[in-house]
Chain A
């Protein structure tokens, strides 16, 4: 266990559904991240939060909407997704954003039908 948990572990949704991914870290970190991992591609950084403030939005489509209510929790709200959005979504946390080890959760395997 890395101290970062994600729920659900697997999610199948239709293109018209609305769902949310949840991440929780128990490490006392103050930075949290969302990554997308697709087959044969590098991990893609989607969003960065530092002290609950979004500091990076890496040109992610608006159908992905992050929320960070406090430094321990991070959500990714999903709506009207496309089949190409099917991927493993990873959450990570670190102590600050600069040059520190990021601890990853196990990910949510998302399938969009």
Chain B
């Protein structure tokens, strides 16, 4: 019940395309859903996060869509650029514990 399942494991997108990464969770106590971006040789960095009181959050080219009833959330990267090539992790936590549970990660490659 503590797992966060992320898909796909890897993704190749052409420059200018839309990248979509999906995550699903089981624990209904989760109330914080961040996405992290990790470049080689660096630690993960927070990209965007959402709480379940809204169904969508947009920051620039990055959008989180959240479906509370389905217990799913996804990251959309619009107009994908080669500089977006990185590994993306979804995560979830509850206010009770603050413990972040991470998905397995998606390696995104954006081809020029």
Contacts and interface: CB of A to CB of B under 8 A. Distances in A.
Contacts of A40: 104
B100 interface: yes
Query: Which of B42, B43, B98, B104 neighbours the largest number of chain A CB atoms within 10 Å of its CB?
Result: B43
Contacts of A94: 98
Say what secondary structure dominates the interface of chain A. loop
Interface in A55-113: 56, 90, 92, 94, 96-107
Contacts of B44: 43, 90, 104
A99 B53 CA distance: 14
A107 B99 contact: no
A82 to B, nearest CB: 23
A2 interface: yes
B56 interface: no
B103 A105 contact: no
20 contacts: A42-B4, A43-B89, A43-B100, A45-B99, A45-B100, A48-B99, A56-B99, A90-B43, A92-B43, A96-B98, A98-B96, A98-B98, A99-B93, A101-B46, A101-B49, A104-B43, A104-B44, A105-B43, A106-B42, A107-B43
